[in-house]
Amino acid sequence: MKALVTGSKGFIGAHLVDYLLKKGYRVLATYYKSTTSDQINPQAEIEECDVRDTDRVFEIIRDFRPDRIFHLAAQSYPTISWEDPWYTLQTNVLGTVNVFEAVKRFSPSAIILNAGSSGEYGDVNEKDIPIKETQSFRPLHPYGVSKVAQELLAYQYHRNSDVKSITARIFNTTGPGKVNDVCSDFTKRLAEMEKSGLEKRLRVGNLDARRSIADVRDVIRAFDLLLMHGRTGEAYNVSGEKAYGTREIIGILRELVKFDFKIWQDPSLIRTTDEPIIYGDSSKLKEETGWQQEIQLKTTLKDMLEYWGRVL
């Protein structure tokens, strides 16, 4: 079985390559710009590919003829999408067109895991939490808009050209190697405090925000199960089963570290467009694939502290 992973130097992509190799896949891992990982498992075949480059995408899919494609390549940071909406839309929308056109022409039997996002939902009334797949899209940033477009492209290629794909609407995902989210920022700072003897003060932003959080290893299992048991043309939420407030995350970290620390709320970290709660209903995923969240947040945070302890 041959699997193509686009965006393999991203956080989820690097973990996914390892997972697929352990399952015995022949893996082609493509990358363009590294966001979190400079390393790809050397057992994979590795190729540089900007998904905006139509000819290069066509060449790779024509020559490799994958059975499964995990399309993760994206500009995935909402803050960057405000600063550079052009690059975000070119990468996420036109890049997706290139992948689906290549599959239609050269590898029509392939099935695609299309990486969507909870950012597609955007502005949701709290009475509609946890969010179901039937919730309307009201994205709050260009990144969310680009992911809506990406999912709708996947749907129309499925309906009009029989390109088989399943969209995973991924909610907050973290784990060892993650950067630029609350859990990674907190665990990294605490690891730095322990190693350097710096002032024991944790810089925080919005203390009232609540987020469902899933471990990357659980999310990758969901991808695999969706391609085995999910229905093509459908979208599925992949969300942690509980929404954690920032204070609750800090409380868990206090149990895990061997020192006391104070909290400093930095106004510069508070964004007015932050959704107060992001929490998805994964019932559809569970019912159709048997997926369950297996790794609890305390275990994930412990593994992240140990990761930062090794790499800092």
- Beta-carbon count within 10 A of 207 CB: 12
What is the C-alpha separation between 271 and 247, in angstroms, rounded?
A: 17
Which tens digits make up the pLDDT trace of 133-150?
999 999 999 999 999 999
Looking at residue 36, what is its pLDDT?
58
State residue 29 phi and psi, 5-degree precision.
Answer: -110, 120
Looking at residue 207, what is its pLDDT?
85
Q: For residue 264, name the pLDDT band (cuts at 50, 70, 90).
A: confident
Which tens digits make up the pLDDT trace of 175-219?
999 998 999 999 999 999 998 877 899 989 888 889 999 999 999
Looking at residue 51, what is its pLDDT?
98
Residue type, 185: D
Tell me: pLDDT of 37 over 60.
Answer: no
Tell me: pLDDT of 49 over 70.
Answer: yes
What is the token pair recorded at 291? 């997926």
The answer to whether the CB of 307 falls within 8 A of the CB of 179 is no
Q: For residue 30, name the pLDDT band (cuts at 50, 70, 90).
A: very high
The answer to whether the CB of 3 falls within 8 A of the CB of 26 is yes
Which tens digits make up the pLDDT trace of 15-28?
999 999 999 999 99
- Beta-carbon count within 10 A of 201 CB: 12
Which tens digits make up the pLDDT trace of 228-259?
999 999 999 999 999 999 999 999 999 999 99
What is the C-alpha separation between 32 and 299, in angstroms, rounded?
A: 32
- Mapped onto helix, strand or coil, the DSSP state of residue 254 is helix
Contacts 24+ apart (CB under 8 A), 187-190: 187/253, 187/301, 187/304, 187/305, 187/307, 187/308, 188/308, 188/312, 190/253, 190/257, 190/261, 190/305, 190/308
What is the C-alpha separation between 269 and 183, in angstroms, rounded?
A: 14
What is the token pair recorded at 64? 């490799």
Tell me: pLDDT of 39 over 90.
Answer: no
Which DSSP string corresponds to 138-154? B-SSHHHHHHHHHHHHH
